[in-house]
Each structure stands twice: as structure tokens, then as C-alpha cells.
Amino acid sequence: MPSQSTIEMCRIVLRGVAKNGGVVMVTFVPMFLDVENPSSADIHMAADHIFHVAEDISAYPQLAKVLLKREATDEQVQEFAGENISRAWSEVEDYSKILKSAMEKPNQATWLGRK
């Protein structure tokens, strides 16, 4: 069982990720879902982790059913299934364009005569 300070640090990090529009990926690796008894890990534990990680959630067909049974909205499930990742990646690409336009282009002359 993680310490209270570890749990609080995770909460602080998650709030920071949310504030910055980031995306948190949830693992389905059994040893992370149940450290003490990995063989008992199941889809319900994965759903528990999702609800712990974020208020607005969304994933895979079986997990989506569990989330919907737990009263997640269709929109939350869609976000979890990929819309948050697409949104975040689009923002990364936009920022990349800004950085590229501000950078000096490589000077090809330095390569002339190179053997």
C-alpha cells in the first residue's frame, strides 16, 4: 500500500497534468493493478484506476461497458478511447510548427566539399 505522501504527490501531479491539458495513460499491467496479487487483477481494477486518475474519463470495448455501468457518460468514454490523445497530439504538432518557424534553417554550405 502506498504511503499517504505518495498518494498526495500523485494527486498533485495529476492535477498539474489536467491543468496543462495533458493526457494520463492508464496501465492494464496486472502487477500495477494489484501489486500484492497480480493474478487477481481484472477489468474492474482497471476501471478503478481510471476513476482514480481522472474525473473525465474514456477505452476498450469491455472496459467501456464497465465505465458506462459506473455512470460514465458517452463523452467521457470517447475521450478515454482516444479523443484526449488526439487533442494533446494536435497541440504538440501546433507547438512544433511554432518552434520550427522560429528556428534558423540549417546552413547547407557547411556540407559543401565534404568527403
Domain spans, the chain: 4-103
Asked if residues 26 and 53 have their Cβ atoms less than 8 Å apart, the reply is yes
Give Cα 41 to chain centroid, integer Å.
20
Specify the 3-state DSSP secondary structure of 105.
coil
Asked whether residue 58 carries a pLDDT value surpassing 50, the answer given is: no
Q: Any idea what DSSP says for residue 42? A: -
What are the residue ranges of helices labelled H in 1-115? 4-19, 30-33, 43-53, 61-69, 74-78, 84-102
Confirm whether pTM is higher than 0.85. Answer: no
Mean pLDDT to the nearest integer, 59-83: 78
Report the C-alpha gap between 26 and 59 in whole angstroms.
10
pLDDT, residue 46, reads: 82
